[in-house]
Amino acid sequence: MHSASDDDRVETDNVVGDDVTTTGGGKPSSASDLAAPPTGPLPYRGVNLAGAEFGDPVPGVDGEDYQFPNTAEMDYFIGKGMNTFRVGFKWERLQSSPYDDLIAAYLKQLDALVAHATSKHATVILNPHNFARYYGETVGSANVPNEVFADLWKRLAARYGRNPYIMFNLVNEPNTMPTEQWVGAANAAIAAIRRTNARNTIIVPGNAWTGAYSWHSSSYGTPNAVAMLDIVDPANNTVFEVHQYLDEKAGGGSGPCVSGTIGSERLAGFVEWLRAHGKKGFVGELAGRDDATCHAAVEDMMRYMHASSDVLVGWLWWAAGPGWGDYPFSIEPKNGQDRALLAKIRPFLF
């Protein structure tokens, strides 16, 4: 593992004072200046703005190996009725070595998106899109102990924890590890966040790519439905995240949707688990391709989620952001024109 030079690092522990919140570019504003985040049924509806997490080279070159989403994209989707953006980033680009300071140039890009969203009263979900891995090693392992993962979140919470429009999504899609190992790492991160006095909502995914359809399955070890009951949050402000796609493998492939009701069928077990245990949930990724069966399946899934607003707090389409080209699920405008798929979800926006 390599270290950034001192000129490239930024110390975050002192960014946030007792009564200010950093909203980007190092410019603090009073927490009292920010209106309260939305409430009511399914208060969070939006899209994954992806790009900064992509590309294998680390650190890579901005604009070549990866590309951050931009504020114009946020404005476009806000204008369509969205109010929530999940912004992925690559952990190794933000923190090049364990316990190191965060890297200023990359962090500045996150700051800019946070500042803009806050100014529009939209929510940003910060998401290390790393599949519970750091340089290819799973969190909670001997090579990446829980303390390393907790240190990342301590630094992020110190920087953004006074901003009520920020949610902390611990990581994208943990997989191929014991579920108990993931729960231990997640609890370490949650404890580190809360020790900074940040009370932001924490979004916790499950093991096995956090599929709703497999929430109760034992095919990957202890089911999420069992192990995730051991998640501990001293602030009691945690929601459980699932991803759910509509193709045969349920993994986001571009194949045909199974049926017009597959979305509600795959979500039902997770929703009932939330109700049975007094938990809240978030559908962090969903999508279907542009054909009649998928249109029906997306509408069915949307209606089911909205009918389950007693336990679900929101949903996010996958995906938008720069560089998607002809990706079949993209709702990024192309040549200044809306994508066809956007029309299928607009009736369920604000």
Q: Give helix then strand counts, H and E, for the chain.
A: 9, 14
Strands 9-10 and 28-30: unpaired
Half-sphere exposure of 245 (CA within 13 A, CB side): 19
CA atoms of 207 and 152, how far apart (whole Å): 20
Catalytically annotated residue among 53, 73, 173, 332: 173
Cβ(217)–Cβ(208) below 8 Å: yes
Which helix (H) or strand (E) segment is 46 a member of? strand 44-49
Instruction: Please tell me what DSSP assigns to residue 14.
Output: T
- Catalytic residue check, 173: yes
Instruction: For 221-244, give one letter per residue: b (16+ CB within 10 A) or e.
Output: bbbbbebbeebebeeebbbbbbbb
Strand partners, 334: 337
CA angle 182, 184, 188 (to 5 degrees): 115
Catalytically annotated residue among 53, 241, 285, 332: 285
- Positive/negative CA dihedral, 322, 250, 133, 163: positive
- Catalytic residue check, 299: no
Cβ(172)–Cβ(204) below 8 Å: no
CA atoms of 243 and 245, how far apart (whole Å): 7
CA atoms of 264 and 303, how far apart (whole Å): 8
In the chain, the N- to C-terminal Cα span, in Å, equals 45
CA nearest 16: which of 170, 193, 139? 193
Cβ(35)–Cβ(41) below 8 Å: no
Please report where in the chains the tokens 């992806």 appear, as a residue.
50
Alpha helices in 30-145 (DSSP H): 71-79, 91-94, 104-119
> Which residues are catalytic, by number?
173, 285
